[in-house]
Amino acid sequence: MTHLDLMDTWINIVATSHSNSNRTREKYKSVFKLFCNFIGKTPEQISEEYENCTQLYDERKFRRRYAQYIQAFMSAQFGRGIAQSTICARVGVIRSFFRYSDIPLGHIPVMHVRTIYHNRDITHKEIRLILGASKPREKAYFTVMAQSGLRPDTLCNLRFEHIKDDLTHNRIPCKIEVPQELAKGKYHPYFTFIGEEAVHYLQAYLNIRPHATDEDYLFLKEGTHQKTSPKSFSNLFARTVQKLQAKGLIKVKQKQKRKPRDIRLYNLRKFFRKHAHQAGFELVQFWIGHTVKAGQDEHYRPTDLEYHRKLYADKAMPFLRLETATPTDTDRTIKELREQLKERDKEINALEGKMAKLQPLVEFVNSYDTPENLKRTLDFIIDGLSDRMRVPLKELVEELHAKEDYEKQKKKKVKK
Residues 6 or more apart in contact with residue 230 via CB below 8 angstroms: 152, 153, 155, 156, 265
CA atoms within 13 A on the CB side of 161: 6
**φ, ψ at 217 (rounded to 5°):** -70, 145
The rounded distance, in Å, linking the Cα atoms of 365 and 272 is 68
Q: Which letter does DSSP use for residue 212 in this model?
A: P
CA separation for the pair 320, 331 (Å, rounded):
16
112 near 71, Cβ under 8 Å?
no
The three-state secondary structure class of 194 is strand
Q: Do residues 197 and 142 touch, judged by C-beta distance below 8 A?
A: no
What is the DSSP track for 234-262?
HHHHHHHHHHHHHTTSS----SSTTS--S
Q: Phi and psi for 264 in degrees, rounded to 5?
A: -150, 180
Q: What is the pLDDT of residue 222?
A: 86
Would you state the pLDDT for residue 2? 45
Rounded distance, CA 1 to CA 215, Å? Answer: 40
Phi, psi for 190 (deg, rounded to 5): -155, 180
Tell me the sheet residues that pair with 175: 193
Query: Please, are residues 297 and 286 in contact by the beta-carbon 8 Å criterion?
Result: no
Q: Is 333 helix (H, G, I), strand (E, B) or coil?
A: helix
Going from the C-alpha of 206 to that of each of 129, 153, 158, 163, 222, the distances in angstroms are 22, 20, 14, 12, 12
Helix (H) or strand (E) holding 416: none
Q: 305: which residues sit within 8 A by CB, 6+ positions away?
A: 175, 191
Q: Per-block average pLDDT, block size 10, for the chain (416 residues)?
A: 65 71 81 92 89 86 92 90 85 90 86 65 93 95 96 93 93 93 81 94 91 90 88 94 93 75 90 91 88 57 84 92 69 77 84 77 71 70 56 61 69 64
233 vs 9: CA distance, rounded Å = 33
Q: Tell me 83's DSSP state.
A: -
Note the pLDDT of residue 166: 94
What whole-number distance in Å separates Cα of residue 247 and Cα of residue 240?
A: 11
289: left (phi over 0), alpha (psi -120 to 50) or beta: left
Task: Report yes or no on whether pTM surpasses 0.85.
Answer: no
